[in-house]
Amino acid sequence: MYWIYNVLLIFYWIGLIPVILYRLTFEEGFYERIKQSAGYMPDSLMKKIEGRRAIWVHAASVGEIVATSPLVKEIKHEFPDAVVVVSVVTATGHAMAERIIPEAEGIIFFPLDLPVLTRRILQSIKPISILLVETEIWPNFLRIAEELKIPVMMVNGRISDRSMKRYRYIKSFTHEMLSSIARFCMQSKFDADYIEQLGAKKENVTVTGNMKYDQTYATVTAEEKQELLEEFGFHNNHPIIVAGSTHKGEEEILFKTFQSVLHKYPQARLLIAPREIYRGHDVSALAKKFGLASICRSDMTEPVHEGIPVVVLDTIGELGRLYSLGDIIFVGGSLVKTGGHNILEPAAHGKPIIVGPYMFNFKDIFALLNNFKACVSVKDGKALTAKVLELCENKDLAQEMSQNCITLMHENRGATQRNIQEIRKLFESLHIIP
């Protein structure tokens, strides 16, 4: 099966050559990115890790980086002599990692999963262990790590329904890949059951919880919140609605809802953050089609005028903090069949949260918050409007949902420590000295 995978991978990259050449010519920083992906590490990193014992943490993109942040902090606390290298796949993930994981000695782009390149980078860094955040399964990377006797552990493991369906088509291959992983620390019983169905041995699987409950990077002080309110022109406004990680097909629904809110509450404001930040100006133009004055965050050269009711967030790494401004939060990818996005970020700020019916990628987290009456699901745009207006009118309900979020976040913290304990057990069982 590996040879089929490698042939397909080679053809895939050959097909991308024109795109790569274009990006090398016109995209700033892409040369360094592709160089690292080919296994050539920066000299500055190699000097930092030379002769030291490196723990490699792989977190593909922004969502995984959020979970990685508290883990790296704890690794540095528990194993002070170790160095930490964090690898990412996306440019946005790299930018986020640089911002919220300053403790890491190196932040690199993950190698292209070709045997020669993977072997080169593993032999260069020589990690004592590899920690895969959530479910980053790369066949050649795992196989060569096993050949080099580098133990691999999955932390904060998660298997979405969509991923489960895909893995089932290649179950025998998935089983072989999972055999290369020594330990599975999964977010929930759902995830543990899924990973066992795919071939992980039951004795190697444990439920440690979700490390995103432990995130602290989004903490906003009262002074910082006031500054942000003034910067966004929101300081005299109520209600403030924050719509995070929205997708095509959702913005139209949100603008219709906001029109209804604005009709009843003329001082209402909407901060909308499209999942794909390059769509910022398109979303701003769409707002204007609905008769809503708007401005993109990237175009803000001074505090927003109070007469602009819609701000489109088209910058990297700010949404987690800006949830703190909202009176009501909507999390996108849920009114369309995307599967939803992380609802723990607004929950960490103690905000009433609304989502659509499609939360299958975060079903365990949603189930927990929904059962705790901290997050509510609506079936369509009409129901969204009704729920937003209800929360605007019923301050007691909004306050109850807010308090439920705070209580739930407090009660579910500790996953990072449980993952650290499992890492220590792995090191002790293999006589690894970090």
Q: What is the pLDDT of residues 142-185, one digit of tens each?
A: 999 999 999 999 999 998 888 888 888 888 888 888 999 999 99
Share of the chain above pLDDT 90, in %: 62
The pLDDT assigned to 414 comes to: 92
pLDDT tens digit sequence for 328-337: 999 999 999 9
The pLDDT assigned to 201 comes to: 93
DSSP collapsed to 3 states, the chain: CHHHHHHHHHHHHHHCHHHHHHHHHHCCCHHHHHHHHCCCCCHHHHHHHCCCCEEEEECCCHHHHHHHHHHHHHHHHHCCCCEEEEEECCHHHHHHHHHHCCCCCEEEECCCCCHHHHHHHHHHHCEEEEEEECCCCCHHHHHHHHHCCCCEEEEEECCCHHHHHHHHHCHHHHHHHHCCCCEEEECCHHHHHHHHHCCCCHHHEEECCCHHHHCCCCCCCHHHHHHHHHHCCCCCCCCEEEEEEECCCCHHHHHHHHHHHHHHCCCCEEEEEECCHHHHHHHHHHHHHCCCCEEEHHHCCCCCCCCCCEEECCCCCCHHHHHHHCCEEEECCCCCCCCCCCCHHHHHCCCCEEECCCCHHHHHHHHHHHHCCCEEECCCHHHHHHHHHHHHHCHHHHHHHHHHHHHHHHHCCCHHHHHHHHHHHHHHHCCCCC
pLDDT tens digit sequence for 28-46: 888 888 888 888 888 888 8
Domains 30-209+414-429 and 222-411 share a fold: yes
The pLDDT assigned to 173 comes to: 87
pTM of the model: 0.73
- Res. 215: pLDDT tops 80: no
The pLDDT assigned to 412 comes to: 84
The pLDDT assigned to 13 comes to: 82
Q: Tell me the mean pLDDT in the region 188-193.
A: 90
Q: Tell me the mean pLDDT in the region 40-57.
A: 87
Mean pLDDT lowest among 67-71, 302-306, 357-361, 425-429: 302-306
Domain ranges of the chain: 30-209+414-429, 222-411
CATH number of 30-209+414-429: 3.40.50.11720
pLDDT tens digit sequence for 216-261: 656 789 999 999 998 898 887 889 999 999 999 999 999 999 999 9
The pLDDT assigned to 170 comes to: 85
Q: Is the dihedral of CA 176, 181, 184, 185 positive or negative?
A: negative
Determine the topology of domain 222-411 in CATH.
Rossmann fold (3.40.50)
Mean pLDDT computed over every residue of the chain: 91
| Confidence band for 302, pLDDT divided at 50, 70 and 90 | confident
The pLDDT assigned to 218 comes to: 64
| Confidence band for 351, pLDDT divided at 50, 70 and 90 | very high
